[in-house]
Amino acid sequence: MNRVYKILCTLGASILIAEPITLDGNLNEESWKDAFVIENYYETVPFTLEPASVKTITRVFSNEDGIYVGFTNFQDISTMVSNKSLRDEMGINVEQNGVAIDFDSDGSKAYMFMITLADIKKDGIRPLGGYPEMDWDGDWEAKTRKYKNFWISEFFIPWNVALMKPEENDMRKINISTFRYLAKEKVWLNDTKTSGFRVNFLSNMRTIEINSYTKRKLNFFPFLSKTYNSVSNFNENKLGAEVFLNTGKGQQINLTINPDFGQAESDEVIVNFSAQETFYSEKRAFFNENQSLFDLNHYDRYRIINTRRIGARSNYECLSSDDIGDCEASKKNYTDIDFALRYTQKNNDLDFGVFLAQESDERYTKGRSYYAIRSKKRINNTTIGHFLTYVEDNFLDEKATVNVIDFSNVRSNKLTFYNDLISSHRENISGFGLRSQFNYKPTALSSRSGSLLYFDDDLMLNDFGYLKKNDWFHVGLGSDVSKINFKDGKKIKELKVGIDFNYDSDTSGNSNPITIGQNNEFTFLNSSEFQFTWDLKTSGKNTTITRKNIDYPFVKEKGSLSFNLDYESPSFGNWEYDWRIGYEVADKYKFWKSEGYERKYIKVAASFYPTDNFRLYSSIRKREDDEWLNWIENNRLAVFDLTRNIISINMNWYRGSKHEIRLKSQFIALEAINPRSLYIDTDGYLLENDDIVKSFSEGITSFQIRYKYEIAALSNIYLVYTRGGSVYEEDDDRNTSEILSDPWNHPDNEILSIKFRLKY
């Protein structure tokens, strides 16, 4: 793989004594003249692999401070798009450069560093078998500058930006891939003919050798915060700190004491009536930093560690307390954290880590204790790992342990296998689960995948992790193929066609509806995109809706056919839009007066960015479900005609590089009318009865506006206002406008918080 890239070996002597590099978007230092050069780029999103229509020259070199990457992007200044955005915000239409680096050259993960022409940084991690995860925030720098016929981006990536295995020699092998985004064309270019969302991204990176150095880093982040809730009169002051130590020799320690996360971004509101818990991603910076070793998951189906458990609501038993009223008044929807500690180290082919967290005790409850030990060993193309987690609920006096043995095997740059063996033990109950998966890419334009899951009825991960459901058997197969190089006159640039098959059941053999889905994605020459999907679902047994009722374990459901149409417009200079239409219809039930389930869905959204410093996004979604089935209790259910209206308004405004204001809001109105009471018999058939079921409505509001001032790099002031809540009513006559406005007028929470965080 090294080929001519070993030229970098010869650059060491001249770079060792090179002059300091000024990060100013001007590649005029002598070191840039001797740097390794990349000039050949290809269109990879859409995946046409055509040579780039514009010229890009990328230079790479290293010195004792770190790795430097400089892009010279040729294009006329009138076509350059430099809209501002939030850090790590994806999907923004703006000129971008990026570099992905696998510092250990082992194909297990790559760190991704990106900069937009508005000098907004993005960074994340691309793990083996996954997709880019933008939760990681590293301590690195980049700067851009516009010129008449080109623009430049200049990256500085310190040696201590991430944990690397120690290198005994003077040279270090790294894998690297560089990329560029063209905003007007909505096209990604890449020098290694791949992209971060393709299965073979890590195996397609190029290997180079650079001079190797070690760099120690110690950062101390004290903070002071104040939070006030005007609804509950809750008032809290906090003083805490975070410590980050990278020894530069393969060890790293992260510690947070008495943390406060009041500046964290609010969650998306998800209305969930199902038996499965909704998974929410981690938004607290500490639990995202250098967490990749502990990140073992399979899509949205399970995670061995879900750090959102830490600091979640505590258990209370107010009825047995001395002061029931005071106990009820003291309940919070979160738990304070005394400390969290993460230690990780790399020794050649062995990765090892320890994670600890302790929640605070309160007057009427006690915090939980969390422990995790993780190790991974690489043997040639195979990685074998062990994961142990332990949680102690100090209030309920309950303990939970999870053990995982995981192994992956990269057979070639076309075929990879993944396997997890999971066991859990909680209060004398033991459970077992397994995952087996393969990804196969026979050609550059096609891929195949398959997975098998088995989780027995007693598998429990939710004390520390996340498990969508247990008592589950799953087989899934998928295939897709892309077509490019359409004849002249065609408006299509790429067509991607995929098909998926999924079979699910419980471990007793009760089969869920089998689903077959087909997807068609069109990318057009004008950069617009259109997607048409359909799903066929057979009749089958819903084994989760009755919440594991022993006498009534399932409901027999009818088969259905659904389709969705999605369109994303090209950019019209300072605005763009997208829409979605969905429809689903199911067969009628025979044993009650059923007209058949029917779903209609429409979404319209638009983004406006009249200046580089301002962006407004708004969307309206409406969904109507006729004969929507909802569980009441035991074997009692009901169908409603359910209408959901969702309005989202988001706004970002920036002044210079120091000031940032972000608005994020959602307003939801649910209306469930025309209720009909049903019950299920022991065979799972739905039957009508005369029980009274009431119609209901619910309004939900989530509103947050956040001001951020950057004092210096990683030193910030946050001022955050949050308002939200829900209002649920039965048999009411509220109209949609009243349902939307009630939770705003009568909020559950109205919180003002301020936080100072400094870096030393």
Confidence of residue 19 (pLDDT cuts 50, 70, 90): low
Q: pLDDT (tens digit, 9 = 90+) per residue, 504-551?
A: 999 999 999 999 999 999 999 999 999 999 999 999 999 999 999 999
Q: pLDDT (tens digit, 9 = 90+) per residue, 180-213?
A: 999 999 999 999 999 998 988 999 999 999 988 9
190: nearest Cα among 173, 182, 178: 178
Average pLDDT over residues 105-121: 95
Q: Is 651 exposed, middle or buried (0-12, 13-18, 19+ CB in 10 A)?
A: middle
Tell which wins on pLDDT, 13 or 572: 572
Which pLDDT does position 91 carry in this prediction? 85
Which pLDDT does position 5 carry in this prediction? 43
Which pLDDT does position 262 carry in this prediction? 62
Cβ–Cβ contacts within 10 Å for residue 320, how many? 9
Which pLDDT does position 1 carry in this prediction? 43
Please tell me the distance from the alpha carbon of residue 399 to that of residue 425, in angstroms, as a whole number: 8
Average pLDDT over residues 300-318: 94
Confidence of residue 695 (pLDDT cuts 50, 70, 90): very high
CA angle 278, 282, 286 (to 5 degrees): 160
Average pLDDT over residues 304-327: 93
Please tell me the distance from the alpha carbon of residue 56 to that of residue 406, in angstroms, as a whole number: 41
Q: Is 368 exposed, middle or buried (0-12, 13-18, 19+ CB in 10 A)?
A: buried
Which pLDDT does position 11 carry in this prediction? 43
**In the predicted model, is pLDDT for residue 222 greater than 90?**
yes
Average pLDDT over residues 572-578: 93
Please tell me the distance from the alpha carbon of residue 623 to that of residue 558, in angstroms, as a whole number: 20
State the virtual CA torsion across 47, 607, 754, 356 in degrees, nearest 10.
-30
**In the predicted model, is pLDDT for residue 18 greater than 80?**
no
For the chain, list the domains and their CATH numbers.
Answer: 3-213 (2.60.40.1190), 583-760 (no CATH)
100: nearest Cα among 120, 121, 114: 114
66: nearest Cα among 101, 30, 115: 101
DSSP 391-437: EEETTTTEEEEEEEEEEEEE-SSSEEEEEEEEEEEETTEEEEEEEEE
Cβ–Cβ contacts within 10 Å for residue 272, how many? 8
**SS3 label, residue 11:** helix
Which pLDDT does position 138 carry in this prediction? 87
Phi, psi of 567 (to 5 degrees): -140, 135
Lowest mean pLDDT among 287-301, 370-384, 430-444: 287-301
Element of type H or E holding 202: helix 201-204
216: nearest Cα among 174, 253, 245: 245
DSSP 538-607: --EEESSTT-S-SSS--EEE--EEEEEEEEEPPP-SSEEEEEEEEEEEEPPPTTTT----EEEEEEEEEE
Phi, psi of 203 (to 5 degrees): -75, -15
Please tell me the distance from the alpha carbon of residue 481 to that of residue 472, in angstroms, as a whole number: 30
**In the predicted model, is pLDDT for residue 260 greater than 70?**
yes
Length of the chain: 760
**In the predicted model, is pLDDT for residue 16 greater than 80?**
no
Q: pLDDT (tens digit, 9 = 90+) per residue, 706-742?
A: 999 999 888 999 999 999 999 999 998 899 999 999 9
**In the predicted model, is pLDDT for residue 376 greater than 70?**
yes
Query: Would you give the distance in Å from CA 426 to the centre of its chain?
Result: 29
Q: What is the mean pLDDT of the chain?
A: 93
Please tell me the distance from the alpha carbon of residue 498 to that of residue 493, in angstroms, as a whole number: 17
Q: What predicted TM-score, i.e. pTM, was given to this entire model? A: 0.90
Please tell me the distance from the alpha carbon of residue 85 to that of residue 94, in angstroms, as a whole number: 9
Cβ–Cβ contacts within 10 Å for residue 79, how many? 12
Alpha carbons within 13 angstroms on the beta-carbon side of residue 105 total 14
**In the predicted model, is pLDDT for residue 161 greater than 50?**
yes
Q: pLDDT (tens digit, 9 = 90+) per residue, 608-664?
A: 999 999 999 999 999 999 999 999 999 999 999 999 999 999 999 999 889 999 999
**In the predicted model, is pLDDT for residue 2 greater than 70?**
no
Which pLDDT does position 263 carry in this prediction? 60
**In the predicted model, is pLDDT for residue 751 greater than 50?**
yes
Please tell me the distance from the alpha carbon of residue 290 to that of residue 309, in angstroms, as a whole number: 18
Which pLDDT does position 9 carry in this prediction? 45
Q: Is 15 left (phi over 0), alpha (psi -120 to 50) or beta?
A: alpha
71: nearest Cα among 61, 56, 82: 56
Confidence of residue 487 (pLDDT cuts 50, 70, 90): confident
Confidence of residue 488 (pLDDT cuts 50, 70, 90): confident
**SS3 label, residue 68:** strand
